Amino acid sequence: MISRDKIRNIAIIAHVDHGKTTLVDKLLQQAGTFRENEAVVERAMDSNDLERERGITILAKNTGVMYKDHLINIVDTPGHADFGGEVERIMKMVDGVLLVVDAFEGCMPQTKFVLRKALEAHLTPIVVVNKIDRPNARPAEVIDEVLDLFIELGADDEQLEFPVVYASGLVGTSGLEPDAQEPTMQPMFETILTSIPAPTESTVDPLQFLVTLLDYNEYLGRIAVGRINRGTIRAGQSVAVLDREGKQRTARIEKLFGFQGLKRIEIEEAGAGEIVAIAGIKEINIGETIADPANPEQLPVLTIDEPTLQMT
Ligand code: GDP
């Protein structure tokens, strides 16, 4: 099992079109070059047909990026206010956020909407002033706007100390100053490793896992995605499932997956603090707790909004 201090869980939040998808693509590509070369799949996060049609990212997706010997889980978030419940749930799976802001456009309505959720969840923010290659980029003003927004939204003292990375996801540069761009995403990776806390949950306590997102696969059926709250999960294990009313049933973990690049990869076990996908539990639903049968304790129920419930 990967050691807890080598894991970082972050969400990526932004106003639509500020460059989340392009940036994650670039992080994936460059993670490949820092580790062993992996094939790069075009347009990482917009794989869903509906999204492609609309040209915007609307569904949460998980991406696992290896940088040096660290696993960085990046969870995409919908920016639209209709998905408020989903955004709140994602904020419970991560320890920090990358707030991506266009270096010309600055803060926009969805920037405010998603930042509010992140600050309320007491997450550690990193501000990415993106599209720094734009000829009309105005990074100093944009940072002032971002700081004002943090203050308006009631950020605490630690959150106000946010590190800033200036970047162009398109060109593939990043740096700690707008005019000191390196031709790699290394400065962004290093900022993630140093600023975002690693998970601290215990892997030896009785298992608890909150079903936070649902995925679906025609062979595997419903797939429960979430962060292991405590303990360890093993493929093949019998578990207790507690529904939102606390009613208990038993089930078996058929398959367990981690995220590597854009793919789900099958793993044997995973521990507290890891974001995983679980297949094999029929009728599994958001807000249910998967727990140790010898010690089945329910986790607090989550906000659910309509678009997520329509998933079958
Ligand atoms: P998303 O909606 O936040 O996922 O944004 P996308 O990654 O899909 O990018 C939206 C648009 O901005 C696309 O036309 C991209 O080509 C463009 N774009 C993304 N990153 C950059 C960048 O770093 N510089 C410039 N100039 N354009 C960018």
**Chain centroid to CA 77:** 7
111 C-beta closer than 6 A to ligand 1: no
Distance 233 CA to ligand 1 centre (A): 38
User: If you take atom 19 of ligand 1, which residue's CA is the nearest one?
Assistant: 19
Ligand 1 mutation target, pool 99, 136, 170, most atoms within 8 A of CB: 170
Residue 157 marked in a binding site: no
- CB-based contacts of 37, cutoff 8 Å, min separation 6: none
pLDDT > 70: percent of the chain: 88
Phi/psi at 141 (5° precision): -65, -40
User: If you take atom 25 of ligand 1, which residue's CA is the nearest one?
Assistant: 131
Residue 132 marked in a binding site: yes
Asked if residues 264 and 235 have their Cβ atoms less than 8 Å apart, the reply is: no
| pTM for the whole structure | 0.89
173 C-beta closer than 6 A to ligand 1: no
125 C-beta closer than 6 A to ligand 1: no
The structure tokens listed for 75 are 């969870």
Residue 63 marked in a binding site: no
Q: Give the DSSP H/E element, type plus range, for residue 215.
A: strand 213-217
Strand partners, 167: 174
Other CB atoms within a 10 A radius of the CB of residue 172 amount to: 20
Asked if residues 101 and 127 have their Cβ atoms less than 8 Å apart, the reply is: yes
Residue 22 marked in a binding site: yes
Atom of ligand 1 nearest to the CA of 171: 23
* pLDDT value of position 305: 61
Cα-based torsion angle of the residue sequence 237, 71, 1, 241 in order, rounded to the nearest 10 degrees? -20
131 C-beta closer than 6 A to ligand 1: yes
Residue 68 marked in a binding site: no
User: If you take atom 17 of ligand 1, which residue's CA is the nearest one?
Assistant: 19
Distance 65 CA to ligand 1 centre (A): 20
Residue 69 marked in a binding site: no
Asked if residues 267 and 258 have their Cβ atoms less than 8 Å apart, the reply is: yes
Strand 221-230 versus strand 213-217 pairing type: antiparallel
Other CB atoms within a 10 A radius of the CB of residue 132 amount to: 26
Q: Please give the Cα distance from 150 to 276 (Å, whole number).
A: 31
147-188: pLDDT as tens digits: 999 999 999 999 999 999 999 999 999 999 999 999 999 999
* pLDDT value of position 37: 41
The structure tokens listed for 187 are 């400065």
Q: Please give the Cα distance from 136 to 8 (Å, whole number).
A: 34
Q: What is the mean pLDDT of the chain?
A: 87
Report in angstroms the alpha-carbon separations of 262 from 77, 100, 132, 268.
15, 20, 26, 19
25-37: pLDDT as tens digits: 888 888 765 544 4
Q: What is the pLDDT confidence band of residue 235, given thresholds at 50, 70 and 90? A: very high
